Chains A and B, each alone.
Chain A
Amino acid sequence: MKKEAFTPASPTSGGRKNNSVIYLCITLGFLLCLFLAGAAMLLTPDKAQSETENRVLAQKPKLSWSTLTDGSFMRDYETYLTDQFPHRDAWVSLRAGISTLTGAREQNGVFRTKSGFLLEKQTPFDSSLLSELTGAIKSFLKKNKTLSSAMILAPNASLLLEEEMPYGLRQDDQQKQLKDIHAMLKGVDLKWVSCLKQFEGADAHTLYYRTDHHWTTHAAFSAFLGLNKAWKLGVKAENYTFYPVATDFSGTLSATYGERRLRDTVEVCIPKQSCGTYTVFYEAQGKKTATLFSSEKLEGKNKYEVFLGGNFDKVIISTTADTENALLLFKDSYANCLIPMLTPYFSKIVVIDPRYFNDSLSAVLEETTFTHVLFVYNANTFLEDRSLAPLLKSAN
């Protein structure tokens, strides 16, 4: 700890020989810190993004008359220096370690439970936002009466691990939030898949990653079985196999919290070969593949992106499934690990991520004769979503 009072020794005592070595050490040590750190900052090559924090790092700002006079060059330069600071990760975890030692139980909005889970705070309920969103969903379904519809609204880890949350932390009751949303969606024939019911009996610790805000593939599979009940798809659980594909996943919550040791296992769940094959078309990117998995993402930091390669505006999946069923899927990233399970039951799946989709929804609806529409979101994202409602309203 810091010593609050530092009283300079009286001038008479300072000149002693034996102390002058220490003064010299202090002086040289300080200068060395400044010069070496300065040199290291200027000489180490800049990184484009941070593996640990899963974000793009600031780059050297462009110098021009206007950026100089409005001061933006100076501000950006400081961000650039701290973002590109040598061994940034080590400094960040030193900071987090010390602040945990001093009793802080929250780092940048992320909490750590007793069992070592990292959790995000729940999004509070904004009733005007939600009435607009649920209203948009209802009127969309009323307009497209032929579609069988369902919604999977996944709870977040902090609901299932509620008793492990730090003592005294109050937040909205997500179970009530889910109930309220369900009630707001009454009046249309929307099948509500209750994840909480599906999760009953399962160990909550297997349903979410410890280091990431996503649910695990097991949790997604439980929800998928719930969807099966709702739509009577005839799923046989034994046709699905789980494969671990990575054991060293350290997710975005780890980075935010400054935790460096925890690792998670990522599993994929795929239907057996006999259930058919498919092709995947990323329309805007003009990319066609025969897999829903991007194994190259396993080399990178954010291994959850192995599913679908991350979030894309529109992905079209055509399968060899012997059915007329075609699915329109509105989703956030929670759906990414669930999509591979759907392929045996639909001949075509169009996946729309409204956060990135800027095209015409009407065109999508004209292009394909859909039989089903599915919404897959996690509660935190859904509660603050501002992109789905305008998109649904646009399809008239």
Chain B
Amino acid sequence: MLFSSATFLFVFLPVVLFCYFLPVFKKGTPESYEMTKKNLVLCLASLVFYAWGEPVYVVLMLVSIYFNFNITLDFQRFPEQKRRKKTLFVLAVLFNLFVLGFFKYEPFLVENINRLFSLHLKAAALPLPVGISFYTFQILSYVIDVYNGESDAQPSLLRFATYITMFPQLIAGPIVQYGDIARQLEHRTVTVQKFSRGVLIFVRGLGKKMIFANAIGAVFSQIQGGDVHALGAVTAWFGILCYTLQIYFDFSGYSDMAIGLGRMFGFELMQNFNFPYTAESIKDFWSRWHISLSGWFKKYVYIPLGGNRKGTARTVRNILIVWTLTGLWHGAAWNFVAWGAYYGLLLLFEKYVFAAVLEKMPKALRHVLTMLIVVIGWVFFSAESFSSAAAYLGAMFGGGAGFTDANTAFLLLSNGFPFAVMTACALGAFRNPPKFKNERTHLIVQAVGYAAVFALCVACLVSDSYNPFLYFRF
């Protein structure tokens, strides 16, 4: 189920909220009873939520939860048997990687083996379970933390299942690390203030997705869908800039919705985007874009590999490994690998070659350069394959239909205004809106504004046919 659907907003969410807050215990009942009931509602709701989109793969998720729950309990049961613990740990990690690998990378692997050895192996090519990359990473963070002794194993299957399945962040993140949320699984409160904050953040995210991302995304898919040889350079640039806006508003919109929904249920989830398009270096960009993913790779891959503590050669190796994997995480295809490696190389370049120059550069220039790199990166990310990315890139530099094409003027005129508004938003122009002196007035204006946004979202929901989910390949 998607957040931006009528089924979610007007059937699923009201029913879940009702059940979640329905008081069933008398006053004076221990809090743990209340939490158990709330977790149970949330967990069951999340399973329905997942099964709505993946009626078959929900079983896979349940198996995965049950397996990981038991194996981590075993770590703790026999802490003195180090070898046994290690064996179990390796088994758990392999199991999770195998599940992810089988469903996500098997067809890609088979295709490349065939190409390499001129074989004709058949790939199983099962459809990719939605959100598998997100929840597998959450499970891995848990297994590793428990193994390292950073967290205690969760003794309650219900709480563990709630952590993994929690529908607000299940299918598009943020990737919640177990340590950040362990306490909240046992103890959390919802106040009216917290809930209303959650509502505002949720509506903001919904607006980003429904009003901004879908509208500008339709422009891009129109441009990308045409013949690349008939594409003028201006149109090609305009198209990829539209995609740049789409992916940001879409993805950060999903994260906002997750954070907002989380708050309605009493959770505090981490911020996942922090105005990435205001970044002044590649490193800066990645500390602002999909923060929970970069944080995950840093903690569970980069640092265990030795990070930057074992000399330059090792650091270079580690950075390249991490970024190739980051690329691969986003999709099993060469264009994603290229996209990841592109960032890895640029980060190395920035770190070892360009650092001194970068420091002397004016801020504005650094910003423009960073965005140029990011935008070109999206060409690889948005393409179906490596070759179509290359063709599009060619068109951006005049290899298509020259400077402009027949549609350029019409596209710019029709979409210029929304494009400008969205660009200004993405660049953080309204990051700190003028505050009214009276905090109360400020809140009221905000509430009315968000009510209008919500109404418009409903209008889009009802009338638009273009409402894509971009993360099916993640």
Contacts and interface: CB of A to CB of B under 8 A. Distances in A.
A173 to B, nearest CB: 12
B119 to A, nearest CB: 32
B464 interface: yes
A237 interface: no
Contacts of B408: 168
Interface in A14-31: 14-15, 18-20, 22-27, 29-31
A3 B439 contact: no
B417 A34 contact: no
B428 interface: yes
Nearest to B455: A94
A78 B467 CA distance: 12
Interface stretch (A5-13, A154-162, A353-361): A5-13
B430 A13 contact: no
A69 B9 contact: no
A2 B211 contact: yes
A91 B195 contact: no
B297 to A, nearest CB: 27
A169 B413 CA distance: 10
B385 interface: no
Interface residues of B, number: 74
12 contacts: A2-B449, A15-B193, A22-B196, A23-B192, A30-B196, A30-B454, A34-B10, A92-B463, A104-B418, A108-B465, A168-B413, A170-B406
Contacts of A15: 193
B223 to A, nearest CB: 14
B11 interface: yes
A105 B413 contact: yes
Interface string A77-111: 11001100100100110111011001111101000
B55 interface: yes
Contact of B443 (A4, A19, A81): A19
B433 A5 contact: yes
Given A27-B195, A71-B53, A103-B417, A5 B430 contact: yes
Nearest to B195: A27
Contacts of A7: 432
B60 interface: no
A18 B440 contact: yes
A333 to B, nearest CB: 24
A34 B457 CA distance: 13
Contacts of A42: 11
A243 interface: no
Those 5 A-B pairs whose CB atoms lie nearest each other, nearest first = A168-B409, A168-B410, A26-B196, A170-B406, A5-B431
B353 interface: no
Nearest to B203: A30
B415 A104 contact: yes
Contacts of A70: 55
A176 to B, nearest CB: 15
Contacts of A3: 204, 430, 433, 446, 449
A47 to B, nearest CB: 14
A20 B193 contact: yes
A34 B9 CA distance: 7
B453 interface: yes
Contacts of A96: 463
Given A8-B197, A95-B459, A81 B10 contact: yes
Contacts of B451: 29
Given A69-B56, A78-B5, A168-B410, A14 B10 contact: no
Contact of A104 (B414, B425, B426): B414
A63 interface: no
Contacts of B417: 102-103
Contacts of A103: 413-418
B287 to A, nearest CB: 18
B409 A27 contact: no
Contacts of A363: none
Contacts of B465: 108
B439 A82 contact: no
Given A2-B211, A4-B429, A81-B10, A22 B52 contact: no
A300 interface: no
A33 B55 CA distance: 29
A96 B459 CA distance: 9
A341 interface: no
Interface of B: 1, 5-7, 9-11, 13-15, 17-18, 52-56, 192-193, 195-197, 199-201, 203-204, 207-208, 211-212, 215, 406-410, 412-418, 421, 425-426, 428-433, 439-440, 443-444, 446-447, 449-451, 453-456, 458-465
A222 B14 CA distance: 59
Contact of B447 (A2, A9, A22, A41): A22
Interface in A158-182: 166-170
A242 interface: no
B309 to A, nearest CB: 37
Contacts of A78: 5-7
A158 to B, nearest CB: 14
Contacts of B458: 37, 91
Contact of A22 (B13, B413, B444): B444
A38 interface: yes
Contacts of A99: 215
Given A2-B211, A3-B446, A78-B5, A41 B409 contact: no
Contacts of B13: 34
A231 interface: no
A82 B461 contact: yes
A22 B10 contact: no
A69 B444 CA distance: 46
Contact of A91 (B428, B449, B463): B463
Nearest to A99: B215
Contacts of A69: 55-56
A4 B386 CA distance: 34
A35 interface: yes
Contacts of B426: 4
A233 interface: no
Contacts of A34: 9-10, 13-14, 17
Given A2-B207, A26-B199, A99-B215, A94 B415 contact: no
Given A34-B13, A81-B11, A167-B409, 5 more contacts: A30-B196, A81-B6, A91-B458, A91-B463, A166-B414
A68 B53 CA distance: 10
A31 B454 CA distance: 12
A74 B199 contact: no
Contacts of A95: 456, 459-460, 462-464
B430 to A, nearest CB: 4
A304 B474 CA distance: 49
Contacts of B56: 69
B431 A4 contact: yes
B193 A170 contact: no
Nearest to A171: B406
A183 interface: no
Contact of B432 (A5, A19, A170): A5
B1, B6, B407, B443, most chain A CB atoms within 10 A: B6
A19 B7 CA distance: 33
B463 A258 contact: yes
A2 B17 contact: no
Contacts of B207: 2
A33 to B, nearest CB: 7
Contact of B7 (A4, A20, A74): A74
